[in-house]
Structure 1
Amino acid sequence: MEDSQIIRTEYSDLMKKSYIDYAMSVIVARALPDVRDGLKPVQRRTLYDMYELGIRYDKPYRKCARIVGDTMGKYHPHGDSSIYEALVVMAQEFKKGMVLVDGHGNFGSIEGDGAAAMRYTEARLAKITQEAYLADLDKDIIDFVPNFDETEKEPAVLPVRLPNLLVNGAEGIAVGMATSIPTHNLGEVVDAVKAYMKNDEITTKQLMRYIKGPDFPTGGIVVNKDDLLNIYETGAGKIKIRGKVDVEELKGGKKRIVISEIPYTMIGAGIGKFLNDVCNLVESKKTNDIVDISNQSSKEGIRIVIDVKRDADVENLINMLYKKTRLEDTFGVNMLAVAEGRPETLGLKRIIEHHVDFQFELATRKYNTLLKKELDRKEIQEGLIKACDVIDLIIEILRGSTSVKDAKVCLVSGITDNIKFKSKISQKMASMLRFTERQASAILEMRLYKLIGLEIEALQKEHEETLANITKYEDILNNYDSMADVIIADLDAIKKEFAVKRKTVIENAEEAVFEEKKIEEQEVVFLMDRFGYAKTVDVAVYERNKEAADQENKYIVHCMNTGKLCLFTADGKMHQVKVLDLPYGKFRDKGQPIDNVSNYDSTKEEIVFLCDDRQLFYTKFLFTTKQGMIKKVEGSEFQVSKRTIAATKLQPEDALASVCIVNDSQNVVLMTAGGYALRFTAEEVSDKKKGAVGVRGIRLQKKDEVEAVFVFEEGTEQKVVFHEKEITLNRLKLAKRDGAGTKIRK
C-alpha cells in the first residue's frame, strides 16, 4: 500500500476556489446566453434534440414528455422541469419576439396560468427555427462537443443566422450577475446588421435609425426615448414602459378607460396585481371616480375595462394609474452574455459585431465544405467524361481482368500484367491510362445506361454546373464583398418571410402628474361597537341618533376626518388608525372591523383607551398598570408617524389597567378587584417618558390587582358604579400615593 499524502490547505482558500468554480459553471453553462446564437445551454440542447428526433415544422407534433426525456437523457441532466420550462417559454408568443417552438395544447397564458403537464402538451420546431437556427448542421459549420457522459455529441453553438440575442432577448440569474435583454423587431435588427456590414465604423446612434428601441411582444409604449442611446451604448439602464390606454365614450356622457396593451413586465401575476391595486385605490379613497373594473381579456388580446363616473377627470385618473399601479413600469436592461467564453456586458454595436463575425465564420466553414464536395464531384465527372471517350478500351480491360483489383490498378497506374487484351495496341493504350483512385472507383461503379447519348450530355452539363459552383464558392471564400452579399441575401430572405410589424411605440412622454383631490376637512364622529366594527358619521347624523349611538357603541370619539385615532392596548402598545381609512356614511351602515385598517388584532389585544390624535398636542396621559404602577406622560411623546409603537414599559406579568387624560389639578382614584380604593392628587404622580415603568400608585394586597381608575376635579361631586355599588368619589378619604387604600364597604 502506498503512503497516503495529506495536503494541508487554508479552508477559506479551498472554499473560495470551489465557489468560484461553481459560479463560473452556472454563469457559462447554465444561466447566461451565448452572444453568437443568443441561447442558453438548455434552450440549445432542447432545439437540437427536436432536430435530431426529426420533429420538423412540417411533421406531426410529438409529446413534450418525449422531447424532455430525450433531452435530459442525452444532453441536459439537470432535471425535467428546467427543460420543460425552457420549452414552454420558447413556445409562448407573449414572451418571445419570435417563437422558436410550435406548441400544441395548453402552454399557459399571459395572465400567469401555467402550462399543462408535459404528458398532455405536444410540440414541434417552428419554421423559422428550422430554417434560420438549425440549417446546414450537416456541412461541418459548427463544432460538436461530447455530452455529459461522452456517449453523444452536441453542438457547442447553433448556426443561427440572425442576432437571436436581440430578437428574442434573454433573462437569467447567475451567481453574482444577471442578464436582462429586451426583445426587438426582427426586420429592424436585420436592417441594422446589414448597415453594420456595409460600414463597420457605424455608430450606435446611426444603428438606432434602424433599431428604434425594444419591441415587446405585448406592445405598450416606451416613454423615455432619449435614454435609449445611452442604454444601447453601455448595455445597461432602465426602460420605462406604459400600457396602451384608450378612452371610449358611452351613452349618456359616460366614459370608460380601456387598456388594450400592457407593459411587458406585467405578464403573469402582474395583471391580477394591477386589478387589486386599482381596487385598493378605490377602497383607500385615493379616487372616487372609478365605478367598476373588469378583465375582459381573451384569445383576441388584452382588454381591461375601467368604468368611470360621468363627471370624472379621465386624464388625471389615467395619470394616477401610471403613478400608483404597474400600468407604467420599469424594465431593467443589463445586456450580459457569454462572449468568447467570458461573461461580458455588451452594447448594441458589440452584439451586432459578434453576430457578424460569427456569420462570416459560419459562411467560411459552409463554403469550404461545399467547395470540397464540388472539387470531389469535379474529379469524378472529369474521370467519367474521359472514360466515355475510351469506353471500348475500358470494357476490354474489364473483360480481360481476373479481379476488380487488377482492373483498378490498370486504370490508375497503367499496369497491364494480369490483364488479357485482344491486341497490342489496346495494351499500349491501357498502359497510358492515369485515372485517380476516386475516378477509377467511379468508373468501376458506373452503370451501362450512363453510356446513352443523353446521359453523356447530362454528365457534361453537370460538369459545367460544378465548375460554375467551384468558381462561385472560391469567389465567396476569397472575396469579403461576395461573402457579405451571401450573408445579406440570407438575412433578406429571413426578413421577407418572418418579419412582422413593430408592436411597441417609442416616444418621449411627459412624466405622469396627477393631482390628488384635496379632502375637505371636517369634524366627524367615530363609532365602534363591542364587536370591533367601526365607522365615521357626520356630527349632525350623530346628534340626531345620539341616544341609539350611545347605547349601541362602546367607543364614541369626535375627531377630524384628516386625523388619526390612537388605540392604547393592555399589552402596552399604541396603534394609530387613519380616520380616512374608515368607512364614512350612514348611521345604520355596519362599518368595518378596525383590525382591517390597523395593526391592532382584536383576537389577542384588549383596548383600554381610544382617543383623537388632536389630544396629543395639549394633554397628559395617566398610565396605570394592574400591578399598581402609575405615571404621567406628555401627549407629545406619542406624536409619531409609525402605525404601532410601544406606549409604555411593563414589568413581567403586568398589563395596562387604564390610560386616561389627566391634569395636575385633578384627583385620582385607584380601585382594586379586592374592593380597595385609594384617592390622591394627580400632582403626586411623577411625569415620565413613555419608555419608563413609572412609580407605585397603590400597595396591593396579596393576589389583588387594579381594576379601575377614575379622575375628577377637586370640589365636584362625581358618582360611579363599581362592583354594582354606587360610589361618590369625592367622599372617599384623600390620602397619599403609595398607600394601601381603604376597603369599600358593601
Structure 2
Amino acid sequence: MEEKIIKTEYSEVMQKSYIDYAMSVIIARALPDARDGLKPVQRRVLYDMHELGIRYDRPYRKSARIVGDTMGKYHPHGDSSIYEALVVMTQEFKKGLPLIDGHGNFGNIEGDGAAAMRYTEARLERITQEAFLADLDKDVVDFIPNFDETEKEPAVLPVKFPNLLVNGSEGIAVGMATSIPPHNLGEVAEAVKAYMLDENITTESLMHYVKGPDFPTGGIVTNKDELLEIYKTGSGKIKVRGKVDIEKGKAGRINVVISEIPYPMIGANISKFLMDVAALSETKKTQDIVDISNQSSKEGIRIVIELKKDADVDNFINMLYKKTRLEDTFGVNMLAIADGRPEVMGLKQIIRHNVEFQFQSATRKYTNLLARERERKEIQEGLIKACNVIDLVIEILRGSKDRGMAKACLVEGKTDGIRFRSRESKVMAAQLQFTDKQANAILEMRLYKLIGLELQALIHEHEETMANIYRYEDILDRRDSMAQVIINELDQIKRSYAVPRKTKIENIAEAVYVEKKVEEMEVVFLMDRFGYAKTIDQAAYERNKEAADTENKYAFSCKNTGRVCIFTNTGQLHTIKVTDIPHGRFRDKGVPIDNISNFNGEKEFVVAAASQTSLNLYRMIFVTKLAMMKIVDGGEFDVAKRTVAATKLMEEDEVVSVTILNGQSQIILQSAEGYFLKFDVEEIPEKKKNAIGVRGMKLTGKDYVEQVYYTGIGLAEGVLYKEKTLDFNKLKTAKRDGRGTRVRI
C-alpha cells in the first residue's frame, strides 16, 4: 500500500485536537443538559440502575455492582467519578431532591467522605422511578449507541419537571463552568404552569412563583432586590448567610447558636469556620468568646458559641458575618447544554427549554400510545366479529388442512380445499374479510373466550380502548389538551414530593462591625530563629531582657496599633498588623510568621525585621549576594499593602542584609572566599526602592557576599572569624567597588 503523507502546520493540528478535547469535556462530561438537568455520568448511573431493576420498592444493591456495570456498559471514565456522582445524588444536604436512596455511609455535611463503594448500597428513589424513568418504554426519547456500540442508552431522560432548577448543578469544563443553585420543587412547578398558560410571561412575573434559590441547608438570602437581574441574565452573585439564634447559657452567659449554614459552607468549610472563630479569639479580635462547640448531628446543624455576660451580641454576630464564612457568596452561572451547545440561560429560558422538551416527549408518548390502542382496537373488533360468527369460524378451522389455509379463508375468503357442512357456510366464509392481525388473533384465541362473561369483558375492553383513542387523539390534536396533561402530572409530582421552602429571601443591609478600639501601648516584638513570633509587654521584656535578646533573632519595640515590616531574601516586604500577632507571656511559643503573612516560597525568609514607625524615621541600607547595594529612604516602605517589592534584584541575586542606618560610619563586606572590604558608608548612594543599586565589591568566579558588618559608636569592633577574633581596626579602609583584602587566619 502506497504511503500517503499529509503536510500541515503543527499549530493547526494542536488547535484542532484541543478544540475536539474541549468540546468532548463540555458536551459529554462536565455540563448538564437543559432538558433533564443531568450530566452524562448521572444519566448513565440512573439508567443502569433502572436496567438492573434496582428500584425504590426492591432491595438495595451494592454500589460497587452499580458502578462496575455503569462503567462497563456506558461510562468508560473510571470508577471514582461514577461513584462520586452516585454519592452526590444521595446527599440530601447537596441536592434539593435526592435521586438515589443510599444505605450506609454516604458522607455528611461536615465534609466526611463516603465509605468505599464495596461497603455501601443504593437503590432508586421513588420520584426518580416515577418522574425520570417511567416513560422510557414508550419511545419518548432517542436511544444512542454506547461507547463500543454494544448497548443502547438514552440521549436524555424523560424528566417531567425542570430538574436543572430543582437540583441545580456544578461543574468545571474547559474554559467554562456552571453553577446553578437548587430551587423549591413546588415553586418551580407553579412557574412552569404559569409559563405554559402564557408563553409571553416575564421573568419578573415568574419570580412571583420562584422566589429565589432554596438551599438544602436553609440560610437567608440577603440581596433579594438583585435576584431579578440574576434570573434575567443567568449570572450574578447571591449573598447568603447562616441562621443565628440567641439562647441563655449557664451562669448568665449568652449562647450564639448557628442552626443553619450558608450553602457554600458545606463540607470542610464548617471546620474552617470553627478555626476562624477560634482565631478571632486568639488574635484578640474579640475577647467575648468563652467556648466553641460543634453539637451538630443527623438531626441538623448546631454550632454553639458561648459568650461572656457583658458581650455585645449584635456586634459579635456582625463580626462573624464580616470575618468568617457565616455570610458567603454563591456565584451563579446558569450554563447548560441547550440544542447541542453550551448556553447561559435565565430562569425563563430554562423553563422554556424544559417545556418544549415536555411537549416533544408527550407528543412521542401519546403518538406511540395511540398506535398501540388502534392496534388493540383492530384486534378487539376482529375478536368480537369472530364471536358473532363463531360457529362458522369453528367450521372453517375444522375443515382446513393447515393454519395457512384457515388464515387465507379468514382474510381473503378463499374456500378451496376446506370442507364445509353446507353450501350456505361456504358462501358465508367467502365473504369474510378479517385483517391479517385479526386473523392471527382469532387463530390464537382460546376457547374460554367464548364464555358469556368473557365476551362482555371483551366488549367493555373495546369501549375503554375507543375512549383512550378519542382521548389520545384529542391530546395530539389540541395543544391545550396536551398542556393540561403535563400540568396534571406536575400537580401530582408537587402533591407527592414538594416540601416547604427552607431558605428565606430577604433584603438585609450589609453587616456593620465596629471594632473595639485597642488601647495604644508599647509592646516588644520577638521572633526566634525558627520563625515563631509573638509580642509581650514592655515590662515583661525588661525582666527577661538578657534571655529575650539571646534566644530571639529579632527583638524590638513597637506600638500594638502599628505594623511590623519583614524583609525577605527574595526582595519582598511583608507588613503584618501587630494585632494579628499573638500577645502573651514571655515563655509562650508564638505562631509561625508564615501563618500570619503572605510568605510564598522564601527560603531563609527573614533577613530583617523592624517596626513600620521606625522605618519612617530612618534610611535603610540594602546589600545583596552579588554585592549590589544602595540606601533607601524608610518612608518608601510606609505602605498599606501586605506584600510589596522592597528592592529590584538581578537574576540569581538575593538580599543578604537590610539594616537601619543609624550612626554607622563604615561598612565591611565579607565574601564567601574570605575577602573583606571596608569603606565609608557615605560612599553608598541613595536610590529609590525599585532601583538595583551600585556594586559595592568586586567578586570573582563563584564568590559572593556572605556577611555584612558595620563600625560606629556602640558597635562591635571585631568579629569571630574561623574561630579567631578579627579586629576591624586592623582592616585597611579602601574605596567602594574594590576587591578587598583576603584574610588568612
TM range (shorter): 0.7 to 0.9
Counterpart for residue 712 of structure 2: 711
In 2, Cα distance between equivalents of 1:703 and 1:354: 70
Task: Check conservation: 1:181, 1:335, Cα contact below 8 A.
Answer: yes
Range with bigger deviation, 462-471 or 156-165: 462-471
SS in structure 2 at match of 1:191: helix
Structure 1 residues 310 and 703, CA gap change in structure 2 (3 angstroms): closer
Q: 5 Å matches for 1:203-242?
A: 203-242=202-241
SS in structure 2 at match of 1:103: strand
In 2, Cα distance between equivalents of 1:637 and 1:707: 23
Structure 1 residues 416 and 209, CA gap change in structure 2 (3 angstroms): same
In 2, Cα distance between equivalents of 1:15 and 1:74: 31
Counterpart for residue 556 of structure 2: 557
Counterpart for residue 418 of structure 1: 417
**Structure 1 residues 380-432: Cα deviation after superposition (integer angstroms, max 9, x where no partner):** 22222222222222222222222222222122222211111121122222222
SS in structure 2 at match of 1:25: helix
CA-CA distance at 1:579 after TM superposition = 3.2
Task: Check conservation: 2:572, 2:643, Cα contact below 8 A.
Answer: no
Counterpart for residue 396 of structure 2: 397
In 1, Cα distance between equivalents of 2:470 and 2:43: 35
Task: Check conservation: 1:622, 1:659, Cα contact below 8 A.
Answer: yes
Counterpart for residue 133 of structure 1: 132
Structure 1 residues 590 and 382, CA gap change in structure 2 (3 angstroms): closer
**Structure 1 residues 526-582: Cα deviation after superposition (integer angstroms, max 9, x where no partner):** 456788765444445555676887788776533322234456789988765543344
CA-CA distance at 1:365 after TM superposition = 1.6
CA-CA distance at 1:253 after TM superposition = 3.1
Q: 5 Å matches for 1:376-391?
A: 376-391=375-390
In 2, Cα distance between equivalents of 1:140 and 1:277: 55
SS in structure 2 at match of 1:333: strand
Task: Check conservation: 1:144, 1:154, Cα contact below 8 A.
Answer: yes
**Structure 1 residues 183-228: Cα deviation after superposition (integer angstroms, max 9, x where no partner):** 1111111111111112222111111111111111111111111111
SS in structure 2 at match of 1:39: coil
CA-CA distance at 1:493 after TM superposition = 1.0
> What is the letter of the counterpart of residue 14 of structure 2?
M
User: What TM-score does the superposition give when structure 2 sets the normalisation length?
Assistant: 0.87
Task: Check conservation: 2:184, 2:501, Cα contact below 8 A.
Answer: yes
**Structure 1 residues 622-660: Cα deviation after superposition (integer angstroms, max 9, x where no partner):** 678999999765443544555586579899999968946
Counterpart for residue 271 of structure 1: 270
**Structure 1 residues 283-332: Cα deviation after superposition (integer angstroms, max 9, x where no partner):** 33322222332222211111222222222222122222222222211111
> What is the letter of the counterpart of residue 407 of structure 2?
K
**Structure 1 residues 489-543: Cα deviation after superposition (integer angstroms, max 9, x where no partner):** 1111111111111111111111122112222212234456788765444445555
In 2, Cα distance between equivalents of 1:116 and 1:99: 18
> What is the letter of the counterpart of residue 338 of structure 2?
A
> What is the letter of the counterpart of residue 662 of structure 2?
V
Counterpart for residue 259 of structure 2: 260
In 2, Cα distance between equivalents of 1:382 and 1:704: 107
Task: Check conservation: 1:658, 1:709, Cα contact below 8 A.
Answer: no
Q: 5 Å matches for 1:90-101?
A: 90-101=89-100
Counterpart for residue 427 of structure 2: 428
CA-CA distance at 1:102 after TM superposition = 0.9
CA-CA distance at 1:265 after TM superposition = 1.3
Counterpart for residue 195 of structure 1: 194
Structure 1 residues 397 and 352, CA gap change in structure 2 (3 angstroms): same
Task: Check conservation: 1:566, 1:612, Cα contact below 8 A.
Answer: yes
SS in structure 2 at match of 1:91: coil
Alignment of 1:39 with 2:38, yes or no, is yes
**Structure 1 residues 228-279: Cα deviation after superposition (integer angstroms, max 9, x where no partner):** 1111111111111111121222233311222111111112222122222223
CA-CA distance at 1:128 after TM superposition = 0.3
Range with bigger deviation, 556-565 or 567-576: 567-576
Structure 1 residues 728 and 447, CA gap change in structure 2 (3 angstroms): closer
In 1, Cα distance between equivalents of 2:275 and 2:666: 50
> What is the letter of the counterpart of residue 173 of structure 1?
I
Counterpart for residue 662 of structure 2: 662
**Structure 1 residues 346-381: Cα deviation after superposition (integer angstroms, max 9, x where no partner):** 221121112122112222222222222222222222
SS in structure 1 at match of 2:153: strand
User: What TM-score does the superposition give when structure 1 sets the normalisation length?
Assistant: 0.87
Counterpart for residue 325 of structure 1: 324
The number of equivalent residue pairs is 732
Task: Check conservation: 1:599, 1:644, Cα contact below 8 A.
Answer: no
CA-CA distance at 1:705 after TM superposition = 9.6
**Structure 1 residues 10-43: Cα deviation after superposition (integer angstroms, max 9, x where no partner):** 3333333333233222222222211111111111
User: What is the root-mean-square deviation in Å for CA atoms of aligned residues?
Assistant: 4.1
In 2, Cα distance between equivalents of 1:530 and 1:340: 63
Counterpart for residue 306 of structure 1: 305
CA-CA distance at 1:734 after TM superposition = 13
Counterpart for residue 457 of structure 2: 458
Q: 5 Å matches for 1:580-659?
A: 580-586=579-585, 589=588, 591=590, 605=604, 611-620=610-619, 634-640=633-639, 641=641, 659=659
> What is the letter of the counterpart of residue 338 of structure 1?
I
SS in structure 1 at match of 2:328: strand
In 1, Cα distance between equivalents of 2:683 and 2:357: 89
CA-CA distance at 1:116 after TM superposition = 1.6
SS in structure 2 at match of 1:515: coil
Q: 5 Å matches for 1:538-577?
A: 538-542=537-541, 556-565=555-564
Task: Check conservation: 1:626, 1:706, Cα contact below 8 A.
Answer: no
Q: 5 Å matches for 1:435-474?
A: 435-474=434-473
SS in structure 1 at match of 2:89: helix
CA-CA distance at 1:693 after TM superposition = 4.7
Counterpart for residue 494 of structure 1: 493
In 1, Cα distance between equivalents of 2:650 and 2:224: 59
Task: Check conservation: 1:720, 1:726, Cα contact below 8 A.
Answer: no
In 2, Cα distance between equivalents of 1:652 and 1:195: 68
Q: 5 Å matches for 1:509-528?
A: 509-526=508-525
Task: Check conservation: 2:242, 2:260, Cα contact below 8 A.
Answer: yes
Task: Check conservation: 2:49, 2:123, Cα contact below 8 A.
Answer: yes
> What is the letter of the counterpart of residue 662 of structure 1?
N
In 1, Cα distance between equivalents of 2:279 and 2:248: 25
> What is the letter of the counterpart of residue 403 of structure 2?
V
SS in structure 2 at match of 1:135: coil
In 2, Cα distance between equivalents of 1:629 and 1:15: 45
Structure 1 residues 415 and 118, CA gap change in structure 2 (3 angstroms): same
Structure 1 residues 573 and 720, CA gap change in structure 2 (3 angstroms): farther
Task: Check conservation: 1:525, 1:537, Cα contact below 8 A.
Answer: yes
CA-CA distance at 1:614 after TM superposition = 3.0
Alignment of 1:692 with 2:700, yes or no, is no
Range with bigger deviation, 434-443 or 621-630: 621-630
Range with bigger deviation, 194-203 or 687-696: 687-696
Task: Check conservation: 1:147, 1:154, Cα contact below 8 A.
Answer: yes
Range with bigger deviation, 181-190 or 459-468: 459-468
Structure 1 residues 549 and 487, CA gap change in structure 2 (3 angstroms): closer
Counterpart for residue 157 of structure 2: 158
CA-CA distance at 1:733 after TM superposition = 10
Task: Check conservation: 1:719, 1:728, Cα contact below 8 A.
Answer: no
SS in structure 2 at match of 1:617: helix
Task: Check conservation: 1:371, 1:473, Cα contact below 8 A.
Answer: yes
> What is the letter of the counterpart of residue 92 of structure 1?
Q
**Structure 1 residues not aligned, in runs of 5+:** none
In 2, Cα distance between equivalents of 1:615 and 1:653: 27
In 2, Cα distance between equivalents of 1:52 and 1:728: 90
Q: Percent identity?
A: 66
Q: Which has the larger radius of gyration?
A: 1
CA-CA distance at 1:135 after TM superposition = 0.7
In 1, Cα distance between equivalents of 2:560 and 2:636: 22
Counterpart for residue 356 of structure 2: 357
CA-CA distance at 1:101 after TM superposition = 0.9
CA-CA distance at 1:588 after TM superposition = 5.7
Q: 5 Å matches for 1:283-302?
A: 283-302=282-301
